[in-house]
Amino acid sequence: MNVSRHLTLNGIVVTVFATPFLMILSRNIATPIFVFASVLLLLCAAKDRGLKVLFHSVLTTARTPAAVLCFVLIAFMALSVGWTTSPERGFESTVHLAGTLALFGLCVAGLAVCARAEPVRSILLPLAIIATAVFLAAEVVLGTPVRALVGASPEVFRMNRAAVALVLMLPFVLCALPQARKVVGLRLVAVIIVGLAAFLSDSETAKLAFLVSLTLLPVFGLLKEKGIWFLGLLTLGTFILMPVIAPYAMSLIPDVLASWLPYGSVGIRADIWVAYSSLIENRLLFGHGMDASYVAAIDYKTTDVPQQFLAWGHPHNFAIQVWYEFGLTGVALFAALLLLFFRALRFVPAGLLPAVLSTVAAVWTVAMVSHGAWQAWWWCLVGLVSVLWLIELRCRRGVEAPHSDT
């Protein structure tokens, strides 16, 4: 049997679509899946164009402004391990992040030289997401019987990451898969079932990301290319100004809605943000170092800052964690990367742009209210969703991936 004949981009697409289901059973599995998908993509590129062409594409990708910025950023993170109060954890997080970024760069380089293929257009893809959402909802309602059967922990909150994964993939299902448009009511079913799974889960983050993504999707449809500027300014603004915004975060929520939100999931986040923000000025230029937020409660145990808000391991806010750990230097580097990213979105076809922007908005929402900034599973999940979109763009345009512009 000729295995190379079956090495196509469609195999990676199927792998990505299987990720939310597998995350229900193992919440950290996005990391090995991303490694597997990256290797598969590189094998596809080597099969299609040869190792020499692939190697040249890797070198070309490594010279792009975004890649150079990533190199500088990782180098700065590595240097900060020298002044962080959590050196072992800081070193591990730096290595994990560097590895994830390297894999994504290899994916971009490999995709640039892969032969154009007809994308998977099976009705099974949207049905797979719907079925996964049904499975997640059933596990929550019935008390995780399948997780218990395979020996996984029965706590419902351990499926929160799968709920987030479903929400991140919803815009792709709604806009990139023609089956979801041709089959009457399929898109509505996908929205309802994924929304149900998100709201039945314990993840307030998944619920918020679902509402943000679904609300902004038609807005981006109306704004068209102006949506890039809208979301770009909003993203950069919240990233740079978050320490200033944090004390007023809860006041931005209407009182009627705020009264329904549990303090343990929502209100406490605002207090955590304020606590960390109050310490940024102590190391304003270079920050406290990689993953120093993990031991902030110990480092500042003799201060007036409430210890219970520093003892959660991280600020639950990407912007504040960057500010706290890397100061103005890190913020400038990440802001430059964000600018390059939104600049690259100008090359996304108009028909896909609203869904891409909706996905970006959902990713940014999750990053700003929930997981630690350097958690490997999170970066790998974002990498998988990004590769899915890049494959779609590659197959539709039939030209090289726009890595030279990023």
- CB proximity list for 276: less than 8 A, separation 6 or greater: 293, 296, 309, 310, 315, 317, 320, 321, 323, 324
Q: Model pTM greater than 0.95?
A: no
Q: pLDDT tens across 217-254, in order?
A: 999 999 999 999 999 999 999 999 999 998 887 776 66
Of 392, 394, 322, 371, which is closest to residue 165 (Cα–Cα)? 371
Residues 54, 57, 61, CA angle at the centre, nearest 5°?
140
Beta-carbon neighbour count of residue 363 at 10 Å?
21
pLDDT digits (tens, 9 = 90+) for 334-392: 999 999 999 999 999 999 999 999 999 999 999 999 888 999 999 999 999 999 999 99
CB 271, CB 309: distance < 8 Å: yes
Helix (H, G, I), strand (E, B) or coil at 124: helix
Q: Which two tokens stand for residue 271?
A: 């207090």
Decide if 167 contacts 186 (C-beta within 8 A): no
Q: Which parts of the chain register pLDDT below 70?
A: 1-7, 117, 120, 179-180, 252-265, 397-406
- Provide the residue ranges of all domains of the chain, joining segments of one domain with +: 3-405
6: its two tokens: 């079956």
- Burial pattern 242-258, b for ≥16 Cβ within 10 A else e, equals bbebbeebbeeeeeeee
79-82 contact pairs (CB < 8 A, 24+): 80/286, 80/287, 80/289, 80/290, 80/325, 80/326, 81/289, 81/290, 82/289
Q: Which residues contact 143 (CB under 8 A, 6 or more apart)?
A: 154
Task: Give just the sign of the alpha carbon dihedral 256, 214, 199, 366.
Answer: negative
**HEC sequence for 213-263:** HHHHHHHHHHHCCHHHHHHHHHHHHHHHHHHHHHHHCHHHCCHHHHCCCCH
pLDDT at 7: 62
Q: How far apart are CA 97 and CA 372, in angstroms?
A: 12
Spatial separation of the C-alpha atoms in residues 113 and 50, rounded to whole Å: 9
Beta carbons within 10 angstroms of residue 139's beta carbon? 23
How much is the pLDDT for 370? 85
According to DSSP, residue 177 is labeled -
Q: pLDDT value at position 257?
A: 59
